Amino acid sequence: MDDPPLQKISISGPTLASLIQRFSTSPSAIQGLLFGHVTHLPTTPSDDSSPAVPTLLATVTGFLCSPSFYESSGAVIPSALHPHSSVLGWFSARRRSALRPSLREFSVTSSLSSLSQFSTSIDNSNPNLKSNSPEQPSLFPPCVFLLLASPPFDNAPSSHVHTHEYRAFQFRTGDQWFEPRSLDVVNIGPTFRGHYGAFSPTSSLPALDCGLRGSPMDEGGDERLARMKQAANDQRELDGCVEGFEVGKLGRMVGSDARSYTEGLEELYKKMLVKIQNLTSLVDESSAMVLEQRRLAMDISAFCA
């Protein structure tokens, strides 16, 4: 009896990224085992005359790099596998090669699929399924094969951009051949964007401290309050000077009323120059006072010495 067919194979984005990263950092080809579970997909009502559609989904949840679980001939060593592990199959990652299984990979997959003691129990918890249906399989052999490869013609091997290709297969033990299966990467792409439509945080935001710090009514608050009022007055005076000179009205500089508008801009510019001159005078006076204080401090230090 042939093993039940899979509709597709899925793998989480972090698991696939970790596998590719392990492949990228390895100096040579790597092989290992794939772990996960097999479940039934929700069935959709259809006519009785339509052909049967596979409803099994194999989900890869982890992997283990282990190049020593098979012999040089391709025969799998049963003692190298844990008897209670949920083995879905295995993977092979090689560099600069075509994305098709080799003869060795065919032998390893055929040997692994024949080990019925490592078959995975199929989850039949879907409420849409009839538990008493004799057509439902209960075990799934470890026949999943994931092949990863880098492009065969890589002109820039030292490039920091790594390009990898991958393809998933199900090995049919009855016909002894690889059947390609679609590989869905969970949490990547627009297909899974709808999963986050009803997202709610698991923890609430911390309480924010809305208390006033440095209140103007504490010690020295009168002086700070006076500075705040002076800053507000200066801001209002500046707003009054630039009133009517918005960026959107610069178009008035071209046309019949350009002369009067230009005179207004020149008047504003003169006021700004006067303010800048006043600020410059204040800076010069402050610098002179600082130099005087420094000279007095040096004289006192020399006198004390």
The position carrying tokens 């020149």 is 266
Tokens at 152, concatenated: 């065969």
CATH class of segment(s) 6-43+52-191: alpha beta
Evaluate whether 141 touches 84 at the Cβ level (below 8 Å).
Answer: no
Query: Number of helices (H) and strands (E), helices first, in the chain?
Result: 4, 10
Instruction: Output DSSP code: residue 205.
Output: P
Cross-strand partners of 93: 30, 148
Strands 139-140 and 144-149: unpaired
| Residue of 3, 108, 107, 16 whose CA lies nearest to 61 | 16
The position carrying tokens 């500089």 is 253
C-alpha distances (whole Å) from 124 to each of 1, 3, 6, 9 are 20, 16, 15, 17
pLDDT tens string, the chain, 305 residues long: the values are 567 889 889 998 888 989 998 998 888 899 999 999 998 877 665 555 555 566 789 999 889 888 788 888 889 998 888 766 789 999 999 988 888 899 999 999 999 999 888 888 887 765 555 444 445 558 888 999 999 988 765 555 555 555 678 999 999 988 888 999 999 888 755 555 555 555 455 545 555 455 444 444 454 556 666 666 666 666 666 666 656 555 555 555 556 666 666 777 777 777 777 778 777 888 888 888 888 888 888 888 777 76
Residue 106 CB coordination number (10 Å) = 16
Which runs of consecutive H residues, i.e. helices, occur in the chain? 13-25, 103-113, 221-241, 258-304
